[in-house]
Amino acid sequence: MSAIMTPYLSFRDQAADALRFYQGIFGGDVATTTFAEGGMAPDPAEADKVMHGRLDSGAGFVLMASDTPASMGVPSGSAITLSLSGDDAAVLDGWWDALTADGTIVLPLELAPWGERFGMCTDRYGIDWMVSIAQASPPTDS
């Protein structure tokens, strides 16, 4: 069996803005369906809110998101942390800079005791992120 796990983020009236924000950071394509388009408008005032949104990033991963209708209560954004890791420091540093713009740095992105650069932040939409950058191996003589 094969399976894929995809983060699904819940927002209160900010899903479209958040998806565009993440698209600006990670590249790729955003597709959204509003509650009206999906035939599921719980309240006419929420008809234009995002029932389902998806970012197929240029980096090869997917983020999904939606606006939580008022009738469903407040979503909890801090129950999960999204983790980005890799060895391309330039790309990951750029993502870190973009995620922390108008956000909060919880732990600065710096060398950790285990040898990688590691940091934690909360973006402008209240989503928690961890960034881990593996140290590139020195070139070897062949």
Read off the pLDDT of residues 7-43 as tens digits, 9 standing for 90 and up: 999 898 999 999 999 999 999 999 999 999 988 877 8
Q: Contact 6/63 with Cβ under 8 angstroms?
A: yes
Fold (CATH) for 8-72: 2,3-Dihydroxybiphenyl 1,2-Dioxygenase; domain 1 (3.10.180)
Q: In this structure, what are the phi and psi dihedrals at residue 46, rounded to the nearest 5 degrees? A: -110, 10
Query: Is 8-72's fold the same as 77-133's?
Result: yes
CATH 3.10.180.10 fits 77-133, yes or no: yes
Residue whose token pair is 């008022």 = 70
Q: Where are the domains of the chain?
A: 8-72, 77-133
> CA gyration radius for the chain?
17
Element holding 96 (H helix, E strand):
helix 89-100
Partners of 62 in the β-ladder: 56
Amino acid at 102: D
> What is the model's pTM?
0.82
Check the CA dihedral 113-126-103-134 and report its sign.
positive
Q: Minimum mean pLDDT among 45-54, 75-84, 108-117: which range?
A: 75-84
CA–CA distance, 2 with 79 (Å, rounded to integer): 26
- Per residue in 88-106, pLDDT (tens digit) is 999 999 999 999 999 999 9
